[in-house]
Chains A and B, each alone.
Chain A
Amino acid sequence: MAQELIELEEEEFTSQLTAPVFRRILTLLKPHWKWVVGFLVTIMLTSVLDAYFTYLNKEIVDVGITLKDRSALIRIVWTYGIFQLLQAGFVFIFIYLAGVLGERVQYDLRKLLFNHLQDLSLSYYAQNAVGRLIARVTSDTGRVSELLTWGVVDTTWAIMNITTSVIFMAIINWKLALIVFTIIPVMVMIAIQFRKRILVEYRVTRRTNSKITGAFNENFQGVRVVKGLLREDENTKEFQQLTSTMYRSAYRAAWLSALFLPTVQIIAAVALGLIVGYGGTQITLGHMTIGGIMAFVSYLTFMMWPIQDLARVYAEMQHSIASAERIFKLADTPPEVHDRSDAIEAETLMGEIEFDHVDFYYEDRKPVLTDFSLKVKPGEMIALVGPTGGGKSTLVNLLCRFYEPREGVIRINGRDYMDYALASIHSRIGIVLQTPHLFSGSVRDNIRYGRLNASDEEIIEAAKIAGAHDFIVTLEKGYDQGVGEGGNLLSVGQKQLISLARAVLARPELFIMDEATSSVDTLTEALIQRGMEALMKGRTSFVIAHRLSTIRRANRIIVIENGKIAEQGTHAELLRQRGHYYRLYTQQFRHELETQYGLADAVGAKEEAPEEEAMAAD
């Protein structure tokens, strides 16, 4: 839903064509210029032949029938037939070229955007909703490629068609052609006006439509409340207002469309009336033939379509250009976190890690970490605890160099970590997120994500270490079982086990884990604990900890509140202080024991949903 709304909002924007944007749009066609030339030439030839056929029809009447010249008739028909075959060939070529080129341009743009998105920093993702980015890659690229291919095809065809028709008419009788020539701009103007008005209604329709879908959705999801509060009648009445708006704009759009062609046709008919009246006089004077009149009728009748096409392309063009601008804007955004030009390879992360007076805030400029200092010895296990929003996730984000400090330095092995190449840091980090993210594909694929060239044996080995093997083999297809979109066919605990195995396989030097807040069943829980333990052995690790067992195992517990270290020390030290940690601990202790003794189960307490942590905000 949200996605749909965002997309709609953006559709409102239209842009006028400016030279730089136009030039840049054209450069998209540059690599495929042969194709462009190909379809332009064939569409032109097609269009010329269309006009020529009408001319041949005139010849059949004037030369064949009027003069009763059978041989001429046969000659004309042969020409007609041969050109028809030829035209079919052209049609084949231009549909194929333009269509495939459209697909190709979309392919190119999508590739460009996707690849660029991979390089962009987390800060960009924090500022742009995923729905919006998806719209950029899917629908915006579609609109631009549509403009570049079918838009160009329609425009070329329309202009060529009108031009050649006018030329042929001028050849037949230039005075009459002049009448046609003057009404064409009028027809085009009217057509554009119609199109614009129709487009306005379409926009209202689309916006209302998403509201209608929203109303349906809400009413289905909240049906219990609706029934409990007897809100049915009121809801229907409110809904009827939406459908009334929808009805009005959809109906208006439809009848405007229905009015559009007849209007243009009637203008053409006036021209036709003039031509027939005036042309008749010309015939009697010998300046015009019956076939000529017939040709004029045809030319005028079939001028509707090119005019309609021109109006449509013109109206839609403004949206396509807005799309193009958005695409270019994304493509031009530089990644915030990037390698320095003299970046060196980080040999190892197994060294001292130091936060030296680090300040950090996100784009909203609200301070998250202030003057934060911390030294961690290699192999140490650090448990981060504290309230949501205190700065734990930010600390991890900085550590992974998803973001860089605004002030202060983070040192690894005594060297500013911004001196290292990003890839060399990332390839040595293993991370398990609170809401584990898996990709569609098999269990095996997901574990292999940790090290792409790992053998199947190594994958099984990693799964065993992480404690995931036992449950995987109980799956119907074992390691080849599909996990569903985002892994949603598995439970949270299972997802976490797989992401642990993935991290094991990566053989990281620095291990980071954000424990899930929601409890999983006791067995899985034990497995996860064992897996974590195995992973942390001999590695420096940071755990955003919620489980007592994890917290107790840590070498050092750091309580983070309001962007600062509130307390730090070992479990016993902190408990004796009777401060923040004491409170957090007792609360969690109670909670865990309630679960352990089956109390929560006995009273049917619902598992609290894991609080989704926003990407940027802590």
Chain B
Amino acid sequence: MTTIEPTLTFDFRKAIDENRLKGIWKMMVDYRVPYLAATASLAVSALAKTLTYYLLLRYFADDVLTQGKYIGNSLTQTFIWIGLGFVGLALVEGSFSYLSGRLAAYTAEGITRRLRDFLFDHIQRLSFSYHATTPTGDLIERVTSDVDALRRFFSEQGIGMGRIILLFVINFIAILNLNVRLGLVSVIVIPFMLLVSLWFFKKVTKRYEEYQAQEAILSTTLQENLTGVRVVKAFARQEYEKSKFEKDNWGKFLKGKLLLFMHSMFWPLSDIVLGLQMLFGFVYAATMAINGVISVGDYIAYVGLVVWLIWPIRNLGRIIVSASTGMVSYGRLMEIVRQAREPLFDGKVQPEGPVQGELVFEDVSFMYSDGKEDVLKNVSFTVKPGQAIALLGSTGSGKSSLVNLLPRFHEYTSGRILLDGVDLKDYSRSYLRKQIGIVEQEPFLFSRSIRENITYGVGREVSQEEVERAAKAAAIHDVILTFPDGYNTLVGEKGVTLSGGQKQRVTIARTLLKNPRILILDDSTSSVDTETEAEIRDALNELMENRTTFIIAHRIQSVMIADLILVLDKGEVIQMGTHEELVSQMDGMYLRIYDIQTRIDEELEMEISRVN
């Protein structure tokens, strides 16, 4: 099997920083130049817009129209040049605005792509205990919503802030160049407006969250009603349900109304403030023009420029408020990135061929990293290649923990496990996992075709014959052929639903194809009917042939065939031996279990005979 390392273009572990802005800057490697270029293009574009008014329109009004200065003394030529000037500047403005948008999108989408790739790759390489303790929903939330919030940070907020600030700066400078006093009186309310809009959008974001929360309440009511339709109907509670929904629905209407009231106050009020500021500027400038302090062209340029100075300011508040969510998301994502990975390839020995499958446990103990007590205590036993070992014991007795040590899902804390005479920790995880096949108690299939599920993780091209041979051996081939698309039938959501027994046999076929030397069977035949159980058992027997097999047993029948039976209790091996040996140990747990089994049979006999 050749492992092709996926090409991840950036290691986000390099972007960890306590200062969130610094961290965001660090994750922009390779994209800093494009993003800065996007900002620069924005500046060029804004400048072109400004120059349209500042140079062209002013020149047109003052030099051409008022003073009658023509280019080459030709009226037509002058107008053609000015017309071309307009088109030319618009072209510059348009092209650079496009360029800036494109570069910003390139940055945002590029960073997002490699962030997603990294997170996907990273998370599957985190330790087992991390996955056991982290709820899937929380991880999903982070890799979707938080990634998207970061994307918007680059594509909208960063560039949006840049746009507003650049427009302000460039136009402000232009106006100051026209007349300093005019420039200063034009921005009197700007700082005030910025603060007000910050305050407003913070408020409105909070109200909006409440509005969304009410929507969630309504959805819950709706969903509970729809899924509980039989209860609703059986109790004839339609009217009650209607009034319950009405309450939530009306509640949302009221919350929406409040939100709209806030918006309908903010926008016109800020319209008034900014409009009056603008009008004040007009009067001031017009008076200056009448008094001859500035020219008509200056005035016209001013009217064109001041718009870009004043109106965008309101939105700056909105953008700043939403940019802060991007920063929070950075922090939440870095919490995942920070987690240590499980090294797959580190190992002192790298054997060429497969293992023999001889295992020696010597005083092995194990405790979870966050645990207080040993889950396994001084476990010792020896398994010869090809033998079957059954583990028996109650939930929490340590059966699963014991087998989890073999593929190094967890590391034992003391003692040794020797595989073919070599300490397990000297093998790389990848090597061990190649040698070990696991059939889980609850089989997990992926939502892809049955064929892909069988060949999942084989890591080489597999011919159809080979797949079918595995499926036949697992007694699932005939079932697969009854599906509409045979081996190409999709599993799950949009495809067929397989029964527990069928899923189990697909995973057995998968394991057969993998052909491991060591096998771990989490016996789960308890949840299927007798007929299926027999089929699975046959498939399992086929699988166990010539392999060292660990069976986590849930019933005595599956234990009897084992070469060695370990009875576990609270992490300790309390009994060990073959079925015959254990049955002869009086007062042993094994005999007790065995007795119960026999007693049940007797009682059943009695129960039946009673009615006869």
Contacts and interface: CB of A to CB of B under 8 A. Distances in A.
Interface string A267-294: 0111011101110110110000010011
Given A236-B8, A290-B296, A605-B554, A107 B87 contact: no
A181 interface: no
A565 B102 CA distance: 71
A137 B222 contact: yes
Given A60-B286, A274-B83, A431-B230, A586 B90 contact: no
A608 B528 CA distance: 9
Given A107-B250, A290-B61, A278 B260 contact: no
B242 A118 contact: yes
B296 to A, nearest CB: 6
B102 A64 contact: no
Interface string A344-381: 00000000000000000000000000000000000000
Interface stretch (A24-32, A97-105, A410-418): A97-105
B457 to A, nearest CB: 3
Contact of A110 (B60, B249, B409): B249
Q: Is the interface of A mostly helix, strand, loop or mixed?
A: helix
Nearest to A60: B286
Interface string A214-229: 1111111111111111
A66 B62 CA distance: 12
13 contacts: A104-B253, A107-B249, A110-B249, A115-B242, A216-B120, A217-B140, A220-B131, A226-B457, A239-B120, A258-B97, A431-B231, A431-B234, A486-B227
Interface stretch (A192-200, A313-321, A594-602): A594-602
Interface stretch (A81-89, A156-164, A520-528): A81-89
Contacts of A1: 493
Interface stretch (B110-118, B199-207, B362-370, B376-384): B110-118
Contacts of A332: none
A98 to B, nearest CB: 9
A544 interface: no
A594 B600 contact: yes
Interface string A472-503: 00000000000001100000000000010010
Nearest to B85: A273
A174 interface: no
Contacts of B220: 440, 485
Interface string B36-47: 000000000000
B265 interface: yes
Nearest to B1: A230
Interface stretch (B17-25, B73-81, B346-354, B477-485): B73-81
A571 B610 CA distance: 11
Interface string A51-95: 000000100110011101010010001001100110111011101
Contact of B268 (A89, A219, A277, A400): A89
Contacts of A117: 225-226
A429 interface: yes
Contacts of A243: 113, 116-117
Given A426-B236, A572-B611, A587 B80 contact: no
Given A220-B139, A426-B235, A225 B444 contact: yes
Given A60-B282, A95-B267, A280-B82, 15 more contacts: A73-B286, A95-B263, A95-B264, A96-B260, A100-B256, A117-B226, A218-B447, A244-B113, A246-B113, A247-B112, A266-B87, A272-B90, A277-B82, A449-B235, A602-B592
A64 B395 contact: no
B296 A66 contact: yes
Given A103-B257, A134-B219, A111 B245 contact: yes
Name, among A138, A220, A237, A502, the residue most crowded by chain B CB atoms within 10 Å (CB to CB): A220
B543 interface: no
In which size bucket is the chain B interface?
35 or more
Contacts of B97: 258, 261-262
A114 interface: yes
A216 B222 contact: no
B109 interface: yes
Given A234-B457, A449-B237, A606-B554, A217 B282 contact: no
Interface stretch (B179-187, B270-278, B413-421, B463-471): B270-278
Contacts of B607: 589
A245 to B, nearest CB: 10
A598 B229 CA distance: 38
B4 interface: yes
Given A103-B256, A273-B86, A251 B120 contact: no
Interface in A113-168: 114-115, 117-119, 122, 125, 130, 133-134, 137-138
B228 interface: yes
A214 to B, nearest CB: 7
B57 interface: yes
Contacts of B597: 599
Given A251-B105, A263-B94, A265-B93, A84 B279 contact: yes
Contacts of A207: none
A254 B99 CA distance: 11
Contact of B394 (A133, A218, A603): A603
Q: Is the interface of B mostly helix, strand, loop or mixed?
A: helix
B361 interface: no
Contacts of B116: 212, 239, 243, 246
Contacts of B596: 594, 597-599, 602
Contacts of A106: 253
Interface in A553-609: 571-572, 575-576, 582, 586-587, 589-590, 593-594, 597-606, 608-609
Nearest to A230: B433
Interface in B297-353: 299-300, 303-304, 344
Nearest to B232: A118
Contact of A219 (B124, B227, B233): B124
B124 A99 contact: no
B612 interface: yes
A605 B597 CA distance: 14
Nearest to B278: A84
A577 B394 CA distance: 38
B586 interface: no
Contacts of A234: 457, 459
Contact of A216 (B143, B394, B553): B143
A604 B396 CA distance: 8
A531 interface: no
B407 A227 contact: yes
A114 B249 CA distance: 10
Contacts of A602: 393-394, 589, 592-593, 596
A270 B240 CA distance: 64
Contacts of B195: none
Name, among B93, B116, B234, B600, the residue most crowded by chain A CB atoms within 10 Å (CB to CB): B234
A2 interface: yes
Given A118-B238, A586-B608, A603-B556, A247 B526 contact: no
A280 B94 contact: no
A15 interface: no
Contact of B264 (A92, A104, A283): A92
Interface in B89-141: 89-91, 93-95, 97-98, 100-102, 104-106, 108-110, 112-113, 116-117, 120-121, 123-125, 128, 131, 136, 139-140
A435 B305 CA distance: 68
